[in-house]
Structures are given as C-alpha cells and as structure tokens.
Amino acid sequence: MSENIAALIAEVEEDKTLAEVRKALDEGTDPLSLVEALREGMSVVGDRYEAKEYFLPDLILSAEIFKQSIALIEPHLKNESASSKGNVVIGTVQGDIHDIGKNIVATMLRCAGYEVQDLGVDVAPQTFVDKAKETGAGLVAMSGLLTLAFDSMKNTVDAIQEAGLRDGLKIIIGGGPVNEKVLEYSGADAYGKDPSEAVKLAGSFLG
C-alpha cells in the first residue's frame, strides 16, 4: 500500500492519494511508513520537475497533496509519542522561500517524537536565535535550495555563536545544493542528504 501511495502522489493524483492514505490509516498501517511513502513520491516529483517532465503547477499541486495527506496522518502520530525526544527549531533561511523539503523534514521529525518549532520560510538569523533561546532547543535545522542560502546559513550559525548558544546546541543544514563544502563554509555540524538522513542526525545529536 505504501508503494501505491508513493506512485499516486508521484502522478499528482490528488483524490486517489488522499483516498489511499485514509484507507491505509483505517487498516492500521504504520503512520511513519505513510510519511516515508509520501516523501518518496515527492522525490519523484522533484526529479520529474528537474527533467522538465513536470512544471510549476504540478509541483504546487503535489505539495498541496502532501500537506493534505500529512493533515490526515498527524492525529495518528500524536497519539504514538507520549514524551518528547527533544526540541528542534527548523526553518528555511533568509532569502529563500522553498519549503517542500523543509516541511517533509519537520513532519518526519514530529513522527519520530521530537517537538518541532517550524519558523517557516525566509527566516532571519535572529529569529532562529530567539526561538532557540525561548525553547531551549538542542538542535537547529536550516534548509535552503538557492545558492544565496549559503551565506544566510553561515550568518545564522554566526548569530547563534554570538548569542552564546553554540556550545549548547547542534546545527544541521540541508537542501538540494548543500554538500560538504557548504557545510564547511557555514560552520554547521552536519548536513542531511535527504529527510531520512536529517532524522538520523537528530537522533545522533539529541540521543
């Protein structure tokens, strides 16, 4: 069933995807496996968009299908986790408004039992700092799809350092163009190649 959900969202089939998600939940399918299936399907959408097989309307609709599917799944996730594994602040950095990948990571972190503070997109360095202070977060996760995001990531790491918070939390970054060079430039602790990797990093850093 999970494979079917991945295929349906990859084909941008709104009604069929939502119906399949509802059916899977009714049958007691692991909610986390459904999120992973949706992520896999969104990855296919992204590949097809890059290959110019899909266009912006397809990308927007697939993101909306993902959002609606997660809204169906989330109530089942909240009942699974009695206690939080830790607090994570996440956002797309200043100058970038891409949020599909960030939304997937935020959802998967919640699935895994973390308290997630999602700051949205185009987030200024000071906003990350303020929320990390407010929540006592152990992890800050930054996303960016544009190359201009690299400077914003570095500026945010620097702001966290200047605020005296750097020793108390870990910082991870992610996004299509992010690699080891960007990691070194930004001063973050690690980067996630995909949402699943981001969740594994959260586990390693927050125990």
- 161: pLDDT strictly greater than 70: yes
- The answer to whether 177 touches 147, Cβ cutoff 8 Å, is yes
- The answer to whether 151 touches 131, Cβ cutoff 8 Å, is no
Q: What is the pLDDT of residues 28-37, one digit of tens each?
A: 998 888 988 9
Q: In this structure, how many other beta carbons lie within 10 angstroms of the beta carbon of residue 94?
A: 22
- 79: pLDDT strictly greater than 50: no
- The answer to whether 94 touches 122, Cβ cutoff 8 Å, is yes
Angle at the Cα of 70 (from 60 to 135), degrees rounded to 5? Answer: 105
Please report the pLDDT score of residue 132 as a whole number.
97
Q: In this structure, how many other beta carbons lie within 10 angstroms of the beta carbon of residue 51?
A: 8
Taking phi over 0 as left and psi of -120 to 50 as alpha, with beta for the rest, 88 belongs to: beta
- 143: pLDDT strictly greater than 90: yes
- 78: pLDDT strictly greater than 90: no
Q: Spell out the alpha helix ranges (H) of 53-162.
A: 56-78, 100-111, 125-135, 149-162
Q: In this structure, how many other beta carbons lie within 10 angstroms of the beta carbon of residue 70?
A: 22
- 148: pLDDT strictly greater than 70: yes
Average pLDDT of the chain is 91
Domains identified in the chain and CATH numbers: 2-78 (1.10.1240.10), 87-206 (3.40.50.280)
To the nearest whole percent, how much of the chain has pLDDT over 70? Answer: 97
Return the structure tokens found at 162.
Answer: 């200047």
Query: What mean pLDDT is predicted for residues 9-13?
Result: 96
Predicted confidence band at 140 (pLDDT cuts at 50, 70, 90)? very high
Give residue 150's identity as a one-letter amino acid code.
F
Instruction: Give how far Cα 133 sits from Cα of 74, 89, 102, Å.
Output: 27, 10, 21
Q: Does the model's pTM come out above 0.75?
A: yes
